Structure 1
Amino acid sequence: MPDLLVVADSLAFHGPERPYPADEPRLWPNLAATRLGGRAELVARAGWTARHAWSAVSGDPRVWAVLPHVDAVVLGVSGMDSLPSPLPTALRELIPAVRPAPLRRVVRDGYRRAQPVLAPLLAELPGGGPATLPARLTASYLERCRSAVHALRPGLPVVALLPSVHRAADYGRVHPHRAATEAAMRAWAARAPGVTLLDTAALVGGHVLGGHGNPDGMHWGWAGHRAVGTALADELGRRLPVRSEQP
C-alpha cells in the first residue's frame, strides 16, 4: 500500500466552491493515493510557496514523523511562487500582524483593491515586475527539500508539480512569471536525482481557463482534481516498486 507525503499549497485542498478537509476523497492527493492502493498525508496551507515547503520539510514534526515510512514525496508548490506580487512578499505576509485591528483592516482592504490594478501594470515592466518568489529561489528551495528528503531516504521518488494556470481577477488575470518558474524547475529537475515533474498546466489548463473550476479563477473543480490525481498515480505507478503480498 504505497503512502504519499504531499507538501502543497491550497490547490491541494480547495475544490470548486471552498476549501475541504484533508481527508476529502475527491482531492487530487487522495485520488492519487487511492489509485495506488495507499493513502496521502497532506501538509498544506493557502499561499504556500517553495520557501514554505522547505520550512515544513525542515521544521514540521508531522513531516518528520511520516517521512521515514512513505513511498514517495510530492511537492505541490510553485503556483503561488509564480504569481505577481505588487507588494514585496515579506511585507504582504506581515499584514496579519498589523495592529491595531482597524488599521490592519484598512491595510488589508487597500492591498486587495490595489493588487488587481497594479498586477497588470507591473506585468508590462521588463521581467514582468515582482513575483511572489523569484524563479531561481523556487528552484533553490525545492532542491533543499529534495536534498533533505534524500539525506534521510536515498532514492525516494520525488514528484514536483509545475505551476498551474489561472484567470483570477484578484491577480489582474495576468501570470507573467509562470514561464520563468517552469523553466527554472525543469532545469532543476534535469540535474536533481530522483525527481520527476508533473505538468499541471497541461492537465488543467482548459479546465481553469475555460471557467470550469472554482469561480475565483485560481482553484480547480473536481474534474481538475481527477486529472491531476490520475496523472500523478500513473507517474508514481511507473516509479514505485511492486510490493509482494505478505503471507
Structure 2
Amino acid sequence: MELLIFADSLAFHGPAGPLPADDPRLWPNIAAAALGARVELAAGFGWTARDAWWALTGDPRVWAALPRADVLVLAVGSMDTLPSPLPTYLREGLRYLRPDRVRRLARRTYLAAQPTLARISGGRPVALPPRLTVRYLADCVRAVRAIRPGLPVIGVVPSVHRADAYAQVHTGRAAGERAVRAWAAATPGVTLLDLPELVGDHVRGGHGNPDGMHWGWAAHQRVGEAVAGLAGGVTTQAGASETGAR
C-alpha cells in the first residue's frame, strides 16, 4: 500500500520544531507503519488547499507517485482558516524584498503587528476563504480521479490553535469546517478525519509546540493511528467494490 499525502506543516513539525519528513514520530510515518505502507509526502509551511493543487499540477515527484497511490490524503485546510491581515500575495512576497536588511525589517515589522491586526480585524480575512478551500480540494479530487478513477480520498476537518502569533484568534475556523464538511458530504468516496476531535484538548491544553499551533508526539500518534484506521477501511471498501463490479 502507498499513501499520497498533501499536507501543511502539521505533518512535519513536532513539539520542538520542523523535522525531516522520514522521522518515524510524525503522523504520516506512524500511519504508514501501522499499515505496512509507504508514504509520499508533499508538504510545506503554511500550505493551504491551493498549495496542494499547485503541487499536484506542478511537482513531477507527485506525478510519479500518483500511479502507485492506494489512498489520497488531503491533509490541508487548517492553515486556510488562519487570520491573514495582509493579502497572501503581499505576505508571501516579503521574502523577495531586497536588500536583505529591508526584507528582515519588513518581516519583523509584520510579525510584530500580526497579533494586533488579527485581533482588530476579528480574524478576517483568512489565508484562503472557505469557498476557495473547497474549490481547490474538489479540483484535486477531480484531477486525480481523471487518472485514477475511484481512488479513495481522506480529507481533514481544520485543526485548532492557541497561537499568540495570531492573538489566539481563530474566528474563521467555523466557516472553514462547515464548508469542508459540506464538500465531503457531497463528494463520493471522500472520508473526513476530525482533527479538532483528535487534537483539540492537546492543543488547547498547551501540550504541543510552544507556538500554540503544532503538535506534540501524543497528538501525532493519535492522528497517525486514526489515518491508518481510515485508510485501511477505505481501501477495503474500494477493493470490495471492484470485486463486486467484476
TM-score, normalised with respect to structure 2: 0.95
Is residue 187 of structure 1 aligned with residue 186 of structure 2? no
Is residue 208 of structure 1 aligned with residue 222 of structure 2? no
User: What SS does the aligned partner of 2:113 have?
Assistant: helix
Q: Residue type of the partner of 2:210?
A: P
- Residues 206-231 of structure 1 show CA distances to partners (whole Å, capped at 9, x for unaligned) of 00000000011010000000111111
User: What SS does the aligned partner of 2:25 have?
Assistant: coil
Offset at residue 236 of structure 1 (A): 1.3
**Cα distance in 1, alignment partners of residues 205 and 113 from structure 2:** 26
**Cα distance in 2, alignment partners of residues 231 and 24 from structure 1:** 18
Q: Residue type of the partner of 1:225?
A: H
- Matched with 1:26 is 25
Is residue 48 of structure 1 aligned with residue 51 of structure 2? no
- Matched with 1:101 is 100
Which is helix-richer, 1 or 2?
Answer: 2
- Residues 132-153 of structure 1 show CA distances to partners (whole Å, capped at 9, x for unaligned) of 0001000000001111111110
User: What SS does the aligned partner of 2:165 have?
Assistant: helix
Q: Residue type of the partner of 1:129?
A: R
- Matched with 1:68 is 67
Q: Residue type of the partner of 2:99?
A: P
What 5-or-longer segments of structure 2 have no aligned partner? 240-246
Give every structure 1 segment of 4 or more consecutive aligned residues whose post-TM-superposition deviation is greater than 6 Å. none
**Cα distance in 2, alignment partners of residues 9 and 167 from structure 1:** 17
Is residue 178 of structure 1 aligned with residue 173 of structure 2? yes
User: What SS does the aligned partner of 2:150 have?
Assistant: coil
Alignment partner of 2:158 out of 146, 157, 163: 163
User: What SS does the aligned partner of 2:5 have?
Assistant: strand
- Matched with 2:148 is 153
**Cα distance in 2, alignment partners of residues 239 and 49 from structure 1:** 24
| More displaced stretch, 187-196 vs 45-54 | 187-196
User: What SS does the aligned partner of 1:57 have?
Assistant: helix
**Cα distance in 1, alignment partners of residues 56 and 190 from structure 2:** 16
**Cα distance in 2, alignment partners of residues 120 and 197 from structure 1:** 30
Offset at residue 40 of structure 1 (A): 1.0
Offset at residue 241 of structure 1 (A): 2.9
- Residues 83-127 of structure 1 show CA distances to partners (whole Å, capped at 9, x for unaligned) of 00111111101000111111111111110000011101111xxxx
Is residue 133 of structure 1 aligned with residue 128 of structure 2? yes
Is residue 80 of structure 1 aligned with residue 44 of structure 2? no
Matched length: 238
Q: Percent identity?
A: 60
RMSD after superposition: 1.1
Alignment partner of 2:192 out of 191, 197, 201: 197
Q: Residue type of the partner of 1:184?
A: A
Q: Residue type of the partner of 1:97?
A: Y
**Cα distance in 2, alignment partners of residues 26 and 148 from structure 1:** 31
TM-score, normalised with respect to structure 1: 0.94
**Cα distance in 1, alignment partners of residues 235 and 72 from structure 2:** 12
**Cα distance in 2, alignment partners of residues 98 and 225 from structure 1:** 36
Offset at residue 238 of structure 1 (A): 1.2
